[in-house]
Structure 1
Amino acid sequence: MTEDIGRQQLFVALLPLPNFTLIAFSAFLDTIRLAADEGDHSQPVRCKWTVLAPELKPVRASCGIEIMPWETLRAPERFDYLVVAGGLLPPAGQALLPTRTRDFIRECVTKGVGVIGICTGSMALVEAGVVPQGSPCCVSWYHHADLVERFPDVDPVADRLWVATGRVITCAGGLASSDLAAHLVKRHLGGAVAQKASHIMLRDGYRPANAAQPQPSNIRPVADPRVRRAILLIEQNLSAPLRVDELAATLAMSRRQMERLFRQAIGASIQVFARDMRLSYAVWLMAERRAEQSGRIDEVALQCGFADVRHFSRQFRKAFGISPSTARQKTPAELHAMLESWWPYGTEGQFPSLRRPPP
């Protein structure tokens, strides 16, 4: 996909998979729509779009809303890009794509159409065989473990917004879909058009591909589904940590049973693990905000669930041997190296944020 600023037409086909994520789909589509004319009239002057499906039947989003496709899978050579929008994953062992859809995606690549996977649509592209073995595949940090489990032969990327490999782009989804769409608009129609679309969406601008996702998961694989869910709950509540009793009640287990299972799987108590997760998040925030030249220590402490800055400083110094203010002066690369050498719960390759190249 070469630079093509002078083109006055951009034709995008969107293919929502069953249980697709509505925000990823609509964020991409509305960015294209707003770039299409001078105002906000949805007139396909500079851009065109269509919605595809194997059949002309409603496709249900994960939130329950249904959309009606405009046409079936045909004549892919008309499109500049095919956007495969994923969402909720089917049970393990069940295919993400029907045969007809898989074949259509392959046909698009064969005929020179750019193919984009957003949200778990990235994983659908792997299943379709258009993401080569060993190539990077970008997913949300939330689906990093799913990608590793289902497709161990690709390189999982869960720290950037999207990754381009030849004619194939994989995108984490969510609001990153709008950033990617704006990037494509800039490529084909110019930066002013992309900026106009972002401004109408009340956004200051759009982020580049290597902008960071929220801190990706860096835990080695855990077999017990109850422990995996406990880890996920801890990750999702770093700013307002759950008490152990609340965690056990959410998982319908006794506190004693949960603590035993957790120690067997992780090798540490829940309290110690949750504290280490929060400290890990603090270092990650420092690295990201150091790159942006912003972020005070008290703000980092509060965002990581430490109401008392002095307590945060004591725990930080105990873990890393230096104070937070000293760590704050280090470069992002030095902070990531410090975290990698300390983190006790991962294995090699399980810390995707460490692979993110400098801007």
Structure 2
Amino acid sequence: MLRRFTMLPFAAFVDCLRLAADEGDRSRQLRCHWVFMTSAGQDAISSCGAAVTPCTAFRDPAEFDYIVVIGGVQDERDRVDTTTQAYLRQAADAQVPLVGLCTGVFALIQAGLMSGRRCCVSWYHHGDLTRRFPDIEPVADRLFIDDGHLLTCAGGIASADLAAHLVERHLGKAWAMKSLHIMLIDEARRGAHPQPQPVVFGKIEDRLVRRAITLLEQHLGEAIAMDVLAERVGTSRRNLERRFRETLGVGPQKFARDLRLRYGLWLLHYTGKSITEIGERCGFADTAHFSRHFRSTFGVTPSEMRKRASEPGGDRVDPFFLHVEGHPAL
């Protein structure tokens, strides 16, 4: 566990192992075994302030079937943990598979282990990774990637999916499903399952526009008033509209609506929610309002789109990314 590691990926991953390790919920390490390590055996302090103890100092990597790196809050001013980097390189030399959860992938990159490889990263950290490591290929449209000796995961609850993937590999599907069902998770999602979040891809030079888009991405379930959005990013509505049109060719209101419609498209493809529920979840006042804008954008109604997506070989509009280079999707 790295400094200020994120608690949910840690808990989701280790609890899936814990529940597969024993009958019922008795937590004995019978079928799965694990230890918690930090560079010098110090307590591991999470980003929320909770501590994991006791931890052991790094042990011989050859003792383990996998070494899992739980990343934490990213602060480029933090001192580089050279001890951890050296340990990860030692593990790679010993051909022990390495698992990077959440921003744990940043540590694998800094250790020089991801050259020429793709890595899974959360949509939320995609921009940070591409800015800091332009030579690395980040993937933000799936939950995890299993490349043999290097496994990377977007984090969050997807860490349970990756743990279930490994439990199924070594113990069988029944044990993986047992863990997930106790965790109130219906079924394991495969690595290729998309992250439930539309992402705006493309380099946006204007910092104010970037900040506004980040806010819009984080509030897909509501229609934010443009005056409120402008206030949140510290400018006037008029200036915000001008900067959006100069950068993206459309105003912020249309951009925000298109982003919420893309989210609705994702929900149509990958959930069983009703069209009424999807419209509400995407911040539209009623089903008619959602359906009207959806048809105007994609050329078909939501019900027609859902039917088309369910047909074998049916055409799909890409629900994941709203590209901005040249603004073709806008």
TM-score (norm 2): 0.89
Deviates more, 1:228-237 or 1:297-306: 297-306
Please list, as runs of the form range in 1=range in 2, the aligned pairs for 1:257-272 lying within 5 A after superposition.
257-272=239-254
Identity of aligned residues (%): 45
Equivalent AA in structure 2 for residue 278 of structure 1 = R
Give 3-state SS (helix, strand or coil) of 2:119's partner.
Answer: strand
Whole-angstrom CA distance in 2 between matches of 1:309 and 1:62 = 40
Give 3-state SS (helix, strand or coil) of 1:203's partner.
Answer: coil
Whole-angstrom CA distance in 1 between matches of 2:44 and 2:236 = 41
Please list, as runs of the form range in 1=range in 2, the aligned pairs for 1:36-115 lying within 5 A after superposition.
36-91=21-76, 94=77, 97-115=80-98
CA RMSD between the two structures: 2.5
* 1:153-206 residue CA offsets vs partner (Å, 9 max, x unmatched): 222211211001121000011111111111111211222222222222222232
Q: 1:309 to 1:137 in 2, by over 3 A?
A: same
Please list, as runs of the form range in 1=range in 2, the aligned pairs for 1:145-294 lying within 5 A after superposition.
145-289=127-271, 294=272
- Of 308, 313, 316, 1:335 maps to 316
Deviates more, 1:168-177 or 1:195-204: 195-204
Q: Is the CA contact (8 Å cut-off) linking 2:226 and 2:253 kept in structure 1?
A: yes
Whole-angstrom CA distance in 1 between matches of 2:103 and 2:320 = 29
Q: Is the CA contact (8 Å cut-off) linking 2:42 and 2:56 kept in structure 1?
A: no
Compute the displacement of 1:54 (Å).
1.2
- Partner residue in 1 for 2:281: 303
| Runs of 5+ consecutive residues of structure 1 not aligned to the other structure | 1-15, 351-359
* 1:60-94 residue CA offsets vs partner (Å, 9 max, x unmatched): 21112222352112311001111100121113xx5
- Partner residue in 2 for 1:144: 126
* 1:237-262 residue CA offsets vs partner (Å, 9 max, x unmatched): 12212111222232333333333333
Q: Is the CA contact (8 Å cut-off) linking 1:283 and 1:335 kept in structure 2?
A: no
Whole-angstrom CA distance in 2 between matches of 1:214 and 1:180 = 16
Q: Is the CA contact (8 Å cut-off) linking 2:41 and 2:58 kept in structure 1?
A: no
| Runs of 5+ consecutive residues of structure 2 not aligned to the other structure | none
Whole-angstrom CA distance in 1 between matches of 2:19 and 2:318 = 42
Whole-angstrom CA distance in 1 between matches of 2:320 and 2:59 = 50
* 1:198-247 residue CA offsets vs partner (Å, 9 max, x unmatched): 22222223222122211341332223333222111111212212111222
Whole-angstrom CA distance in 1 between matches of 2:24 and 2:301 = 52
Whole-angstrom CA distance in 2 between matches of 1:277 and 1:247 = 15
Equivalent AA in structure 1 for residue 15 of structure 2 = D
Deviates more, 1:326-335 or 1:33-42: 326-335
Query: Aligned residue pairs: how many?
Result: 325
* 1:19-38 residue CA offsets vs partner (Å, 9 max, x unmatched): 21101111111111122222
Equivalent AA in structure 1 for residue 215 of structure 2 = L
Give 3-state SS (helix, strand or coil) of 2:199's partner.
Answer: coil
Give 3-state SS (helix, strand or coil) of 2:253's partner.
Answer: helix
- Partner residue in 2 for 1:355: none
Equivalent AA in structure 2 for residue 298 of structure 1 = T
Equivalent AA in structure 1 for residue 75 of structure 2 = P
Give 3-state SS (helix, strand or coil) of 1:116's partner.
Answer: strand
Q: Is the CA contact (8 Å cut-off) linking 2:3 and 2:44 kept in structure 1?
A: yes
Q: Is the CA contact (8 Å cut-off) linking 2:123 and 2:141 kept in structure 1?
A: yes
Compute the displacement of 1:121 (Å).
0.6
- Partner residue in 2 for 1:5: none
Runs in 1 of length 4+ with deviation above 4 angstroms?
94-97, 337-340
- Of 127, 132, 135, 2:115 maps to 132
* 1:292-324 residue CA offsets vs partner (Å, 9 max, x unmatched): xx3433333222221232232332333233333
Give 3-state SS (helix, strand or coil) of 1:218's partner.
Answer: strand
Whole-angstrom CA distance in 1 between matches of 2:47 and 2:298 = 42
Q: Is the CA contact (8 Å cut-off) linking 2:39 and 2:84 kept in structure 1?
A: yes
User: In the alignment, is residue 17 of structure 1 matched against residue 28 of structure 2?
Assistant: no
* 1:83-125 residue CA offsets vs partner (Å, 9 max, x unmatched): 100121113xx57841111111111111121100000112221
TM-score (norm 1): 0.82
Deviates more, 1:308-317 or 1:109-118: 308-317
